[in-house]
A and B are shown apart, each in its own frame.
Chain A
């Protein structure tokens, strides 16, 4: 077998792949930010000494951990539009509905996992940190946000980095509902050129490079925290 990258690096195909790469990145970045914020909120709610709150968060987490990611994407794309108010569905359909539903499914799923990581980070902290915050007059949520979560996130950094990688790779599942991200674009190019190996070599290179970049960024944040904490 001879490799022929020239056949797939025509302006047309390059454009498809670049656009796919950008969509993957946009999907990952927006899902990550939303997942991180939602996870923080879930931890704050789920750690409150209030049974119904704990139960609600636990149910959310179990749903997302026990149902395949692809099914969750299908649920959002095929089933949810029937439940959402008409006005919302109309708006979403006018704004790239595939991307939006994939984003929602991805960030909710990732938030469930991230919140579990943050929760175990939280458990590693001394109980007195909450008391110290509350004794100053900070509210429960203020203490969570300013005192506990920053420390919990630092303690849980390695699993959070792993979760970020999992989220990045999971963006490829969005192709199943027609989001033209990297994997979708590669399939398209491969369909037209039959250059299977070359096409997926490029896609793989993209995923590997970005995965390494995410890990490097995580390691950098970790080093900076360690230095700040004086270790």
Chain B
């Protein structure tokens, strides 16, 4: 369970997160949306400490992620993060991309790491690309490898920052399908995305942000049919075109 309590963050003097209070239950799938610059990336990046916060508290299962006793590497190894630009390691083969963190962080023996990696690549439909290098894959394939790479650490929580925004429209579906499968398996997911179809099908809740603040939270159907806040209304109208 992830809990944000009165979270404030500034970039210099810019107030990027404004008193955020949210609770994401175990196994919940929460979609975060909002206009560009509203603080969506900033919010999910605070969960695994890619961004520090200046006020408030973020806890995962009761533990303060910014606590003095928390080892940042151990914390991050338990939180999968998927980037908009995939950020695979181009000098390593696909299977090596997936094996690296388990071998280095959890000291998993090479053979076991490879077996796990192959299972995960199979799960995202890319076992046949195991020995290929990332630059040779399509964007959709790269993003699926990136998801497999994050899953290799067996994280109980997955964060997605616009995982399909950099993809050609015809490649979006294959990535969303993998995410839907994860959701159906009970993964706790916090996804920044504007994919309405995905939100409607699998999200338990939609959070709407603007200006660093959460302005609305609602069930997906309600949010897209009957947004309440004027800015949410404008936003929904905009993404419908």
Please give me the 4 A-B residue pairs with the lowest Cβ-Cβ distance, nearest first. A137-B77, A132-B87, A136-B101, A230-B136
Report the Cα distance A139→B74, complex, angstroms: 10
- List the B side residues contacting A128 at CB < 8 Å: 83, 85, 87
A67 within 8 A of B: no
CB distance from A158 to the nearest CB of B (A): 17
- Interface size bucket, A side? 20 to 34
Interchain CB contact under 8 A, B104 and A138: yes
Report the Cα distance A228→B73, complex, angstroms: 30
Report the Cα distance A135→B75, complex, angstroms: 9
CB distance from B220 to the nearest CB of A (A): 27
CB distance from A214 to the nearest CB of B (A): 23
B108 within 8 A of A: no
Given contacts A132-B83, A137-B74, A137-B153, contact A229 B105 (CB under 8 A): no
Selected A-B contacts with CB under 8 Å, 29 pairs: A128-B83, A128-B85, A131-B50, A131-B83, A131-B87, A132-B89, A134-B50, A134-B73, A135-B83, A136-B77, A136-B81, A136-B105, A136-B149, A136-B153, A137-B75, A137-B77, A137-B78, A137-B101, A138-B100, A138-B105, A142-B105, A146-B104, A147-B89, A228-B91, A228-B133, A229-B133, A229-B135, A230-B132, A230-B136
Q: Of residues 91 to 137 in A, which have CB atoms within 8 Å of B's CB atoms? A: 126, 128-129, 131-137
Q: Which residue of B lies closest to A139 (CB)?
A: B73
A150 within 8 A of B: yes
- List the A side residues contacting B74 at CB < 8 Å: 137
Report the Cα distance A142→B77, complex, angstroms: 13
- List the A side residues contacting B173 at CB < 8 Å: none
> Interface code A64-91, partner B: CB below 8 Å = 1, 0 otherwise?
0000000000000000000000000000
B25 within 8 A of A: no
Report the Cα distance A136→B82, complex, angstroms: 10
With A136-B101, A138-B105, A230-B133 already in contact, 4 other A-B pairs whose C-beta atoms are closer than 8 Å: A132-B87, A135-B76, A147-B89, A154-B91
Given contacts A136-B153, A137-B74, contact A231 B135 (CB under 8 A): yes
B53 within 8 A of A: no
Q: Which residue of B lies closest to A150 (CB)?
A: B91
Selected contact of A134 from candidates B76, B78, B136, B149, CB within 8 Å: B76
Report the Cα distance A142→B72, complex, angstroms: 14
A151 within 8 A of B: yes
Given contacts A131-B50, A147-B89, A229-B90, contact A137 B135 (CB under 8 A): no
CB distance from A136 to the nearest CB of B (A): 4
Report the Cα distance A128→B50, complex, angstroms: 11
Report the Cα distance A16→B135, complex, angstroms: 52
Interface majority SS on A: helix, strand, loop or mixed?
helix
Chain A residues proximal to chain B, CB less than 8 Å: 126, 128-129, 131-139, 142, 146-147, 150-151, 154, 225, 228-231
Interchain CB contact under 8 A, A136 and B87: no
Selected contact of B73 from candidates A131, A132, A137, A229, CB within 8 Å: A137
B48 within 8 A of A: yes
Interchain CB contact under 8 A, B85 and A136: no
Interchain CB contact under 8 A, A229 and B91: yes
CB distance from B117 to the nearest CB of A (A): 13
B150 within 8 A of A: yes
Q: Which residue of B lies closest to A134 (CB)?
A: B76
Q: Of residues 120 to 138 in B, which have CB atoms within 8 Å of A's CB atoms? A: 132-133, 135-136
> Interface code B135-150, partner A: CB below 8 Å = 1, 0 otherwise?
1100000000000011
- List the A side residues contacting B77 at CB < 8 Å: 136-137
Report the Cα distance A39→B81, complex, angstroms: 32
Q: Of residues 57 to 108 in B, which have CB atoms within 8 Å of A's CB atoms? A: 73-78, 81, 83, 85, 87-91, 100-101, 104-105
- List the B side residues contacting A228 at CB < 8 Å: 91, 133
Give the one of B75, B91, B135 with max A CB within 10 A.
B91
CB distance from A131 to the nearest CB of B (A): 7
CB distance from A217 to the nearest CB of B (A): 19
